[in-house]
Chain A
Amino acid sequence: MQSGFMDKFLSNEPGSASRNFLISALWWSLWAMGAGLLAGIEFSAPDLIHNIPQLSMPHLRMWHVNGVAIGWLSMAYVGAIYYMVPSLCKNQLWSERLGNFTMWAWNIVMVGAFANLLNGNTEGREYAELPALLDYMVVVALITIAINVYGTVATRKVKKLYVSLWYFLGSMFWFPLVYIIGQRTFVALPGLNDGIVGWFYGHNILGMWFTTMGVGMMYYLLPRLTKAPLYSHGLSMLGFWGISLFYAPTGTHHITQSPVPEWLKAIAIISSVFLFVPVITVLTNFFMTMKGKWGMVATDLPLRFAVTSAGFYLITCMQGPFQATRWVNWYLHFSQWVVGHAHLALLGTFSFISTSAFYYVMPRLTGRPWYSEGLIRSHYWLKFLGFLLMMVSLTTAGLIQAAGWAFGVPVDQWSLQIRPYWFLRAISGVMIVLGQFIFAYNVFKSLYSKEAKAQSAKVMEAVKA
């Protein structure tokens, strides 16, 4: 017999790991997005907060990036696949206790990240800022997730593996390796080599984790939500192999104008352009699956989030190869255009698909319906319109900056001209964060309020009777 302590903290209840992961993700998203908003406001009001190192813009930025990437998105992804993988394999998660253990480990990492990054305790490597101890813990967490996912698939009750599983299994193999290489914890590489490995990691946290997991989730959600079969399994395989071939070598396109070897830049840029192939296959598959079902987005809100995500994925992936080519990069690099592109990928595409998964999975895990559909709708519109405003303001600011660099306009001059766009960006941040808080309120009311508990008691009684 397990003790009460074990059942409380490492619960064996089916679905508990998935639920706990999703709720932790939501919790960290509030902190990380809030930090992003505050940092955004500080662009317009630089003297708003004075003499508090923890709230100075660069420290907030570190925490914002790590918080949304490792906290919100990654935890939501893991929570979602802990539901999706067993459902695709028609069995239970291999070990619910191990899943809950990972959940605690990951939350401890996030507490550590919060405390360290806001205090400037950083390794100084973009996207790999976490101190060494936390790096080890992330690796342990990733390996336990991999064990759990591979274990679930190994004990599956169906013969064939659906394409989502290919993506999840691939990501769980790639990403721990990418993460270990990218941290550079034990090595002090010479500057440019450090940059090459750094951008191998910096781009592949996107390419071999957020994209592959996110696309896998889209493959799961779109057919389920529309109740239409996937358009083509052949195309889905082509997309999978395209991503796994062309995504990983693209990192150096972040430093095409620095003195790194030309052959490496060529590999990076050519593979970036070749990414058109998997992206167009994947999206053709999605949009053909949606054929005749587009009207459903009016009433089916998780589907609306998922379709919006696929739409932004299309724009992201048209922008990406475009700005990776040498001439466009020559003009646009170092400007806020790139910041806009990063938000298009992580907020527009992957945050929307995580939210869709959250709205789809949570009622099926807990058996409790959503407290308010109106709140979901307001979450959608705040997030969608807020994001559009952010994208437009950052892109415009980026074009002004890029023109400034290209035509030799002094920084002192163009930095004044982009002030209105910083202000618009701050407003967009208010909308997005407000949407996220509405989301959190809805979750709280649905799961933890008295009414929700009373309702679920009624359901239980009905089931018994």
Chain B
Amino acid sequence: MNSNPYRVGSIAVFTTFIIIIFSTVFMPMVLFQPKPTDSRNHYDVEASAGDALRGRQIYVREGCFYCHSQFTRLQDRGYGPLVKAGDFVYEAPHVLGTARTGPDLTNEGNKFPAQWQKAHLIEPRSVKPGSIMPSFSYLSDRDMNDLVCYIQTLGNGRTVNAYVEAPDEYMPSTPSGQALLARRHVDTNSDAAANAGRGIFTQNCAACHGLEGWGNGPNSISLEKKPANFSRPFYKQYSDQMWFYRISEGVAGTRMPRFGEILTEEQRWYLVAYLKTLPQDKEVTIDSLAQLDKLTPTKLPVLTHQQWEPHSGGH
């Protein structure tokens, strides 16, 4: 057969595919070789506690990674520090996970006592009502102990020794946090800014948090989750970013709204400046209804249309 019409086509298919394999399989192997970091999981625990590496094999064998992921993302609030590429060097096969039917387990270690973890594996609903996790009661005692030992090592290279900070995208460690600081022109330590913030606080926050910020606003009586009392000394360690984050994103599950969608960045920084002045050495406790901020019965002011809307009416 002279000149096969499909020769060029087959060579093209072959070449294309080899180039793709080269660029997306072999090139990453060569170019991407992260150094192991100290924040990785350390499996060399005391032998008496159990065999964490064997526990990892059981984690894989029982398919835990189908429902539990093991990498934290920027938006995963309350799941501990973010992972780095070097944290995974000794993790083979990877257990990054594909779907989260349950919580992320990146930093699960020592969040619960080992006994709790074991009870949770044997009968999940006895300690977590409403959970849909399967029961792993069929595991032998040794398997179970090793698995619990493995779970308790997760994230132990990332142990947190300080109060929780704002998420990374607010902090100077990320480009978005740097951009946030670069845009800020309010000096949050100045009295002028705090004074400006006081007005914003009175308008937007005092109804729940009270005029002095003691959590005793007139609206607080009707709230199931009581508003924060800013006179607590605890708030002294709040960084500017932490205040800013709380104001911007609110508190899920409470009436505290996401003021990021209501106030401008500038207004929120003024508010931060004011809030920073509120914590005291000794918390002002609000123990009785009598201490709630009361509204004096309002006499409706008799306003003319012109006084009510001074900038638009009157023509």
Residues of A within 8 A of B (CB): 42-44, 46-47, 50-53, 56-59, 61-62, 120-126, 161, 166, 170, 173-174, 177, 181, 184, 188-198, 200, 241, 244-245, 248-249, 251-252, 254-255, 257-261, 264, 267-268, 330, 334-336, 338-339, 401, 405-413, 415-416, 419, 422
The residues of A that contact B12 with a CB separation of less than 8 Å are: 241
Across the interface, which residues of B come within 8 angstroms of A193, CB to CB? 28-29, 32
B5-24 residues at the A interface, CB under 8 angstroms: 6, 9, 12-14, 16-17, 20-21, 23-24
B31-73 CB contact bits vs A (8 Å, 1 = yes)? 1111000000000000000000000000011111111010101
- CB contact under 8 A between A405 and B16, given known A47-B125, A189-B92: no
Q: Decide if B90 touches A190 in the complex (CB within 8 Å).
A: yes
**Majority SS at the chain A contact face:** helix
Residues of B within 8 A of A261 (CB): 28, 31-32
Scoring B63, B102, B138 by chain A CB atoms within 10 A of each residue's CB, the highest score goes to B63
A314 to B: closest C-beta gap in Å: 24
User: Top 4 nearest A-B pairs by Cβ distance?
Assistant: A58-B63, A191-B88, A191-B91, A124-B60
Beyond contacts A122-B60, A198-B93: 4 other A-B pairs, Cβ-Cβ < 8 A, are A46-B131, A189-B29, A198-B94, A249-B24
Tell whether, in the assembled complex, residue B66 and residue A61 are in contact, meaning their CB atoms are under 8 Å apart: yes
Residue of B nearest to A194 (CB): B94
CB distance from B121 to the nearest CB of A (A): 12
Q: Which residues from B are CB-within-8-Å of A410?
A: 78, 252-253
Given A50-B137, A338-B99: A408 and B66 interface contact (C-beta under 8 Å): no
Residue contact A330 to B75, C-beta cutoff 8 Å: yes
Q: Which among B6, B62, B89 is the interface contact of A191 at CB below 8 angstroms?
A: B89
Bound CA–CA A258/B136 (angstroms) = 29
Q: Which residues on the A side are within 8 Å of B89 (C-beta)?
A: 190-191
**Which of A43, A46, A124 sits near B135, CB closer than 8 Å?**
A46
| B98 contacts partner chain A, Cβ-Cβ < 8 Å | yes
B103 within 8 A of A: yes
- Report chain B residues within 8 Å CB of A125: 93
User: For the complex, is B85 an interface residue (Cβ under 8 Å from A)?
Assistant: yes
Q: Is B142 an interface residue (CB 8 A)?
A: no
Q: Residue A408 contacts which of B74, B131, B252 (CB distance < 8 angstroms)? A: B252
Interface residues of B (CB under 8 A from A): 6, 9, 12-14, 16-17, 20-21, 23-25, 28-29, 31-34, 60-67, 69, 71, 73-78, 83-85, 87-103, 124-125, 128, 130-138, 249, 252-253
Contact B93 A252 (CB under 8 A): no
With known contacts A190-B92, A191-B88, A193-B29, A411–B135 Cβ distance under 8 A: no
Contact B25 A197 (CB under 8 A): yes
Asked whether B14 lies within 8 Å of A173 as measured between CB atoms, the reply is yes
CB pairs A–B below 8 angstroms (13 shown)? A46-B131, A58-B62, A58-B64, A122-B63, A125-B93, A190-B34, A245-B16, A257-B73, A258-B71, A267-B24, A338-B98, A406-B75, A411-B102
The CA of A177 and the CA of B18, in the complex, are separated in Å by: 10
Report A152 CB to chain B, min CB distance, Å: 15
* Shortest distance from the beta carbon of A203 to any chain B beta carbon, whole Å: 10
What's the Cα separation between A401 and B67 when bound, in Å? 13
| Minimal beta-carbon separation of A142 from chain B (angstroms) | 15
Q: Which residues of chain A have C-beta atoms less than 8 A from B133's C-beta?
A: 46
Is the Cβ of B75 less than 8 Å from the Cβ of A405? yes
B28 touches A264 (CB 8 A): yes
Given contacts A248-B17, A249-B23, contact A47 B135 (CB under 8 A): yes
Q: Which residues of chain A are near B28, meaning CB under 8 Å? A: 193, 196, 260-261, 264
**The one of B24, B61, B83, B100 that contacts A120, using a Cβ cutoff of 8 Å:** B61
Contact A415/B131 with A190-B89, A408-B78 known, Cβ cut-off 8 Å: yes
Q: By the criterion CB–CB under 8 Å, are A56 and B71 in contact? A: no
Please tell me which one of the listed residues B14, B32, B103, B134 contacts residue A58 in the complex, with CB atoms under 8 A apart. Answer: B134
Cα A267 to Cα B19 with chains together (Å): 13
Q: Which residues of chain A have C-beta atoms less than 8 A from B124's C-beta?
A: 46
Q: Which residues of B contact A252 (CB under 8 A)?
A: 24
Closest-CB distance, A153 to chain B (whole angstroms): 9
Give the complex CA separation of A415 and B77 in angstroms. Answer: 16
Q: Which residues of A contact B132 (CB under 8 A)?
A: 43-44, 46, 415, 419, 422
Whether the Cβ atoms of A200 and B32 lie closer than 8 Å is no
A254 touches B98 (CB 8 A): yes
Q: Which residues of A sit under 8 angstroms from B17, Cβ to Cβ? A: 173-174, 177, 244, 248
B138 with A56: CB separation less than 8 A = yes
Instruction: Give the distance in Å from the alpha carbon of A438 to the alpha carbon of B73 in the complex.
Output: 45
Q: How far is the CB of A18 from chain B (nearest CB, A)?
A: 25
A residues in contact with B71, CB < 8 Å: 257-259
Q: Which single residue of chain A is at the shortest CB-CB distance from B31? A: A261
A260–B92 contact, CB under 8 A? Answer: no
In the complex, how many angstroms separate the beta carbon of A130 from the nearest chain B beta carbon?
13
A122 vs B84: C-alpha distance when bound (angstroms): 28
CB distance from B153 to the nearest CB of A (A): 15
Residue of B nearest to A174 (CB): B17
Q: Which residue of B lies closest to A197 (CB)?
A: B25
Residues of the B chain whose Cβ atoms lie less than 8 Å from the Cβ of A190: 33-34, 88-92
Contact partners of B84 in chain A: CB under 8 A: 259
A334 with B83: CB separation less than 8 A: no
With A43-B132, A52-B138, A57-B134: A409-B16 Cβ-Cβ less than 8 Å = no
Query: A264 contacts which chain B residues (CB < 8 A)?
Result: 24, 28, 32
The chain B residue with its CB closest to the CB of A49 is B134
B29 contacts across to A, CB distance below 8 A: 189, 193
Bound Cα distance from A193 to B25, whole angstroms: 9
Give chain B residues whose Cβ lies under 8 Å from the Cβ of A267: 23-24
| A contact residues around B62 at 8 Å (CB) | 56, 58-59, 120
CA distance A193 to B93 in the complex (A): 10
Q: Are B73 and A192 in contact (CB under 8 A)?
A: no
A45 to chain B, nearest CB (A): 9
B21 touches A192 (CB 8 A): no
A37 to B295, CA, bound (A): 60
Shortest distance from the beta carbon of A421 to any chain B beta carbon, whole Å: 12
Q: Is the CB of A51 within 8 A of B138?
A: yes
Chain A residues with Cβ below 8 Å from B32 are 192-193, 196, 260-261, 264
Q: Which residue of B lies closest to A263 (CB)?
A: B31
Are the C-beta atoms of A173 and B13 separated by less than 8 Å? yes
> Are A336's CB and B252's CB within 8 A?
no
Assuming the contacts A194-B92, A194-B93, asked whether A401 and B100 have C-beta atoms less than 8 A apart, the reply is: yes
B94, A59: Cβ atoms under 8 Å?
no
The interface residues of chain A lying within 8 Å CB-to-CB of B103 are 411
Question: Is there an interface contact between B135 and A50, defined as CB atoms closer than 8 Å?
Answer: yes
CA distance A393 to B31 in the complex (A): 42
Chain A residue nearest to B102 (CB atoms) is A411
**Which B residues are in CB contact (< 8 Å) with A245?**
16, 20
Chain A residues contacting B65 (CB-CB under 8 Å) are 124, 126
Query: Given the known A-B contacts A124-B93, A244-B17, are A56 and B88 also in contact in the complex, defined by CB atoms under 8 Å?
Result: no
